[in-house]
């Protein structure tokens, strides 16, 4: 491929006294909803996995709130440490809402047109190529599966429903039917049933959000921001997560509905909710069963320290050597 591909990953150190003090000061005014910042201390392994499995990456932009891991090697030419004030207007800072942090990432200085967005619990789990994320023509790889967004207390579907409200102002069923061969694919397997069921309605009901690394075009962010700046700025005004937010999936929906993507198998990655029994994700890490995995924290883990130790030990066995991103 003759174009660079960057990675963007956001991270926060919840043990930083300065950060905690700032958060608690504002939390008195804006109670946090569904916010989880617990650190599993896995970020070094995120970098080790990238270096081993995606050595072709152009730049890695680590987005933090004026924080820096002590072990991080800032002399690595592929690494750029980004603080919120580098791309978010001062009037919205400080901010503790991941949606507010992620919506304007297209403003990160020098970010390439082609980039992959990660949360710090998204891991590359086996060797990947550039073609796993973008086609040779530069289109983001993705799986276009329709699925109704049904708001419930234990999910972010209230927020993704807000995204769907916006896309229905610009798209309809006909935009899907015009490119039906991207929405109905053999590699989507049984997920095609969801799409067929949703096509009964003339409006867009929503998408299946895989919660995996997402391939993006920066130009998509730029164009959606021009269309919906007023509404997107309302999210930036929310220091803490709100059901009235919009999130980064909005840009993904625009890419899918405009046809600015290349279909990818739904088996590319796997999402795991961590628990007190992590045998399944540990087996995936050990064997590299999926190219990308998500290890999602859960509030009901009874013995967090034990679970963290087991996951860290698994990563240490797979990636025992420091990467060039570590001192």
Instruction: List Cβ neighbours of 25 (8 Å cut-off, separation of 6 or more).
Output: none
Token digits of residue 305: 């320290």
Would residue 294 count as lying in a domain? Answer: yes
pLDDT at 149: 86
Judge whether 1 and 211 are in contact, CB under 8 Å.
no
Q: Tell me the CATH number at 286.
A: 3.90.550
pTM of the model: 0.95
pLDDT at 33: 46
Would residue 269 count as lying in a domain? Answer: yes
pLDDT in tens, 239-279: 999 999 999 999 999 999 999 999 999 999 999 999 999 99
Alpha helices, DSSP H, located in 58-214: 98-102, 157-167, 173-177, 180-183, 192-198
Q: Of 38, 39, 77, which Cα lies nearest the Cα of 58?
A: 77
Q: Which domain holds residue 273?
A: 5-143+211-318
pLDDT in tens, 42-51: 999 999 999 9
Provide the number of structural domains found in the chain. 1
Would residue 38 count as lying in a domain? Answer: yes
Would residue 19 count as lying in a domain? Answer: yes
Would residue 154 count as lying in a domain? Answer: no
**Mean pLDDT in each 10-residue stretch from start to end of the chain (327 residues)?**
94 88 80 58 96 98 95 97 97 96 98 97 97 97 94 83 97 96 96 96 94 96 98 96 95 98 96 94 96 92 93 97 97
Would residue 161 count as lying in a domain? Answer: no
Would residue 201 count as lying in a domain? Answer: no
Would residue 194 count as lying in a domain? Answer: no
152-159 long-range Cβ contacts below 8 angstroms, 24+ apart: 156/34, 156/247, 158/243, 159/99, 159/243, 159/245, 159/246, 159/247
């Amino acid at each position: 491929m003759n174009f660079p591909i960057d990675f963007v990953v956001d991270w926060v150190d919840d043990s930083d006294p300065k950060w905690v003090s700032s958060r608690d000061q504002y939390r008195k005014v804006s109670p946090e909803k569904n916010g989880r910042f617990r650190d599993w201390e896995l970020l070094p392994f995120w970098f080790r996995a990238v270096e081993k499995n995606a050595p072709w990456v152009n730049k890695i932009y680590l987005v933090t709130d004026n924080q820096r891991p002590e072990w991080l090697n800032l002399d690595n030419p592929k690494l750029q440490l980004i603080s919120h004030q580098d791309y978010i207007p001062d009037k919205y800072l400080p901010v503790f809402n991941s949606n507010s942090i992620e919506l304007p990432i297209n403003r990160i200085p020098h970010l390439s047109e082609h980039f992959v967005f990660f949360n710090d619990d998204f891991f590359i789990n086996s060797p990947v190529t550039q073609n796993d994320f973008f086609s040779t023509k530069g289109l983001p790889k993705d799986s276009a599966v329709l699925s109704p967004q049904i708001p419930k207390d234990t999910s972010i579907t209230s927020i993704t429903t807000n995204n769907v409200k916006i896309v229905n102002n610009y798209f309809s069923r006909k935009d899907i039917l015009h490119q039906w061969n991207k929405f109905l694919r053999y590699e989507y397997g049984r997920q095609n049933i969801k799409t067929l069921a949703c096509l009964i309605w003339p409006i867009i009901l929503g998408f299946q959000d895989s919660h995996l690394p997402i391939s993006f075009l920066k130009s998509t962010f730029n164009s959606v921001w021009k269309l919906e700046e007023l509404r997107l700025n309302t999210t930036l005004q929310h220091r803490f997560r709100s059901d009235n937010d919009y999130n980064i999936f909005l840009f993904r929906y625009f890419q899918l509905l405009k046809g600015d993507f290349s279909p990818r198998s739904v088996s590319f990655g796997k999402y795991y909710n961590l628990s007190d029994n992590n045998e399944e994700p540990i087996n995936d890490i050990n064997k590299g069963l999926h190219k990308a995995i998500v290890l999602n924290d859960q509030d009901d883990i009874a013995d967090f320290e034990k679970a963290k130790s087991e996951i860290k030990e698994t990563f240490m066995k797979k990636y025992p050597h420091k990467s060039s991103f570590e001192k």
